[in-house]
């Protein structure tokens, strides 16, 4: 299970029983950084997509592959 920790600008991962496993992210606009991540989704391959709200983008993460963030840029104005 993944949780967007919006106010701390990071994503947290938990087991199905609620045990904390890992977290990543920090405030900023570089890869693997967020400003108010708001939503996330996991695809069939296990890749994690994070809506990085204030940076107007989506970041894709491949768990187990450090530094493998792919930024999918947005086209709208900030906070839209």
Domains of the chain with CATH codes = 2-73 (2.40.10.500)
Are 50 and 59 in contact by the 8 Å Cβ rule? The answer is: yes
pLDDT of residue 32: 86
Tokens of 50: 């994070």
pLDDT in tens, 26-73: 999 888 899 999 999 999 999 999 999 898 889 998 877 766 667 766
pTM > 0.85: no
pLDDT of residue 43: 94
């Amino acid at each position: 299970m993944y949780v967007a920790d919006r106010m701390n600008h990071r994503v947290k991962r938990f087991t199905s029983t609620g045990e904390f496993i890992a977290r990543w992210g920090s405030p900023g606009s570089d890869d693997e950084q967020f400003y108010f991540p708001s939503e996330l989704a996991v695809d069939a391959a296990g890749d994690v997509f994070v809506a990085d709200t204030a940076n107007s983008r989506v970041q894709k993460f491949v768990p187990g592959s450090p530094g493998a963030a792919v930024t999918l840029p947005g086209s709208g104005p900030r906070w839209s």
